[in-house]
Structure 1
Amino acid sequence: MSRLVITESALDAVAKKFELDKNALEVKTPSGGYSRNRLAIIKSNHRQIFVKEVDTTIVPGSGQEELGWLKKDYLCMKAIQAKYPEIVPDWIELIHDDKVLCMPAYSSESGWQWHLPNQPEEQAKYIELVVNAIDSLEKLKFDKSEIAKLNLAPVFKDDLASNKGIELMASDENYRKRLISKYQKLLVSAQPHLQEPIKQIITLLGDAKKIQELVKEGQKLAAQPNDYFGHCDIRTDNIAYNPKLAQIKLVDWNWASYTPKNFGATEFLVNAKLGGADIEPWTDKLNREMIASFIGLFTRSCLKDELVEGGSLRDYQANTAAIATYLHNKLSS
């Protein structure tokens, strides 16, 4: 499925909600990210609105799962807005029978960017802002009724701890061969900072003893208590950054849940390293057992069919597993 702009009915709802002249609107499709939802940036004069729509006619089943995620995204951002308004969008609206989520677009024209900064000095400032935001989130406490309302069960952490990807790697020789073949193809055109991690995961796939050690280490993640609130999908696609304002905005909260300590920092730092950043000053934030589990999760995912036609999600997942292998080796040395 290719990336889709929003439906006419959603556009009508947005125009009505924000009192815009529909005939004067400019609608464009945002780049980046991985989604089965319809996405658009709507421009009206100097105002830009990001719109995410669940179209129940094109998603699996009746779309109830996607609608639940959209509602959770909205509720979580509203809850964080009351605690740490500086790290979430300034406003959020859920409209059109809870099928359309709207927020500021945080566009490049306004000084915002949705990627890792290019310069090392700016990367360090960006990483520090995000890690500090994650630390703030880990201090948040919700009561039982709020946890139930926001659906903060530790789904992602539990899935990560039980995905059995490393066990599959240990037990299935054909599976390892398929992975080696994929990584050998990726290595041919890999960016310079990814070449060594890819070589290291190819080496890992041929080392039965090391894989067994990872199995044992990954199993320890399940025993870590889920005592800290986290976003659970903190990567550059979900972070708007304004260098002049020294501000970030975190979006896409539908995976938010309670996690072990440094869960959010680990997923973010792995993603930053994937982009080529130097994360050495923050390696004390890495959760080693989580990194071991990342290797299993993302190698297992990277062999699936693409989520969208012509997408690059599976290569992204393969490279994430390679970065996790590189970081795990570094922590083990």
Structure 2
Amino acid sequence: MSSRAPARSPQSPSRRDVLTATLGGLLLPGLAAAQPTTKPTGKAAAPSPSRGDAMLTRPIPSTGEALPVIGLGTWQTFDAAPAEREPLAQVLRAFLDSGARLIDSSPMYGRSEQVVGELLEKLGETKKPFLATKVWTTGKSEGIAQMRESLRRMGHGRMDLMQIHNLVDWRAHLPVLREWKAAGRIRYIGVTHYARSAFDDLERFIREEKLDFVQLPYSVAERDAEKRLLPAAAEHGVAVLVMQPFASGSLFQHVRGRPLPGWAADIDCTSWAQVFLKFILGHPAVNCPLPATSKPSHLADNVRAGFGRLPDEKLRARIVKELQR
């Protein structure tokens, strides 16, 4: 979600400060080349992202393809009328210039697929992103029609990842996804669910079905996925995308007015948003959180979490303790 209010203090710069610093050194063309992620750590100082840095990546287990570790969600943020789309074009340009690639949408998200597709075409970037969307309907023929429309609207005929949204009518859609993958119409397949009550079903899919991706909710405030889902994904070679990385914005409400702790510098964080995203990336089973925003300044802040050091387990526990205060 895009609503947040990080504390302003000498250790926690304003959004304008973050954006100025980021655009000056990070969001520059030519940073799309990625490098393998470093091991999590909480030690020794390191410079801020600069022209010579590349966003960290993690491999998609089923193929080994390197995927940059910060993605972009579009729920509620890209369902915009034409007159409201200029900031979204800036968001997409800055996102891709940072070296990030994965853009996630769904037919459920109103005009979001269409807006993403049209803006990418306008920017001349229809092939650069890693595009992900979902099938969200009942019936085999209805699902096929919806997926064809998604490929047309968002991907201009291509799609990297197709997911079954909230497991809706998965028995009808999963065989089709497998057929389309075998035929090369899509590259990867996956499933999603937003509800913790569906975690048993998600775990069964991870363990029993041959999936490339699973998308689930996970944050420093909502860590249920750590118990079984993330270990199952690591065991069975399924990439993990994370929705609701800011717990629907509630994390920012919790830290409102609170100075950024000194230890944030140990993992190269200059905002609470980066701390929250790096907590997620500190878990080795996670490939990519998907923060959604329509604001270029928030996007600039978010992508910085894809650079520098990640927290080890000791520091992740400290972040949890900090949020319990």
Of structures 1 and 2, the larger Rg is shown by 1
Tell me, yes or no, whether TM beats 0.5: no
TM-score (norm 2): 0.27
TM-score using structure 1 length: 0.27
**Which of structures 1 and 2 has the larger relative contact order (alpha carbons within 8 angstroms, sep 6+)?**
2
Q: Greater helix share, 1 or 2? A: 1
